[in-house]
Structures are given as C-alpha cells and as structure tokens.
Amino acid sequence: MDLEDLRRVIRLSFLTALGLALFSGFIWGTEAALGVAIGGCGAALNLWALQIFFVELLGPRRAWRLMMLAQLKIIGVYGLGALLFLTVRFSVLAAILGFQIPFVLLLQRALRAAWLEHKR
C-alpha cells in the first residue's frame, strides 16, 4: 500500500463515518449518530496525523517540525477527544464501533490487493 492508497482510505473513512452516522441517526437516534461520527472521524483524524508524522520522519528530517507535529497531535487530537467526551452526550458503544471504520477499510484494501496479486 502506497501513500496515495492511504490518503484514499483516510478520505473514504471520513465519508463512511459521516454516512454511517446519518444512517444510524435514522435508526437509533442522535446519540448513536454522534457516537459513530465522533468515533469514525476521530480515528480517521488520528490516522491522518500519524501519516503526516511518519512521512516527515522518513523524509527529510527536520527535528523542529517533528516535535511540532507530535505536540500538535497530542493537543489537537487527544485534547479534542477529551473535550468531546466531557461536553457532548453520545453513545460510547457507537463511538467504539465508529472508531473501527478506518481499520476495516484498510483491511479491505489490503485483502483486495492480496487477492489481485494472487490472481496473477
């Protein structure tokens, strides 16, 4: 899987999380919809931050930029998550399920690539 595949998976994760949030909102209500949206978008945001961090780590190393990215990830992603947990009422189970969306999409992409390679 190259960098462009990872970018596609992250973008698809955001869209899938929002689509599943709308669907779960119709079925189970607002708290479930918020949980799926927060979990899925939070995981995709975390994956995006890790992608930027590791691209910078493996590319031209600039120590100041790596430290800035690491600190922004801690403050931004985890601080936003803590703020949401404290202020917004949502289903934690739906958030946990939503958090799995990017990983399911990554697994699907990897299995598809392995299957195509196997067919050759």
Q: Tell me the average pLDDT across 19-34.
A: 95
- End-to-end Cα spacing for the chain: 17
Residue 120 maps to a domain: no
pLDDT at site 49: 84
65 vs 10, more confident: 10
Is the residue at 27 inside a domain? yes
Q: Which residues contact 111 (CB under 8 A, 6 or more apart)?
A: none
pLDDT of 12 > 90? The answer is yes
Range of 69's domain? 3-115
Nearest Cα to Cα of residue 56 among 24, 78, 64: 64
pLDDT > 90? residue 64: no
Q: Is the pLDDT of residue 91 over 80?
A: yes
Answer whether residue 80 is part of any domain.
Answer: yes
- Do 17 and 100 contact (CB within 8 A), yes or no? no
- Note whether residue 9 is domain-resident: yes
Q: What pLDDT, on the 0 to 100 scale, is given for residue 71?
A: 83
Out of 25-34, 56-65, 87-96, least confident range: 56-65
Residue 87 lies in a domain: yes
Q: How far apart are CA 13 and CA 40, in angstroms?
A: 7
* Percentage with pLDDT > 70 across the chain: 99
Domain count across the chain: 1
Average pLDDT, the chain: 88
CA nearest 38: which of 92, 95, 91, 76?
A: 95
* pLDDT value of residue 69: 78
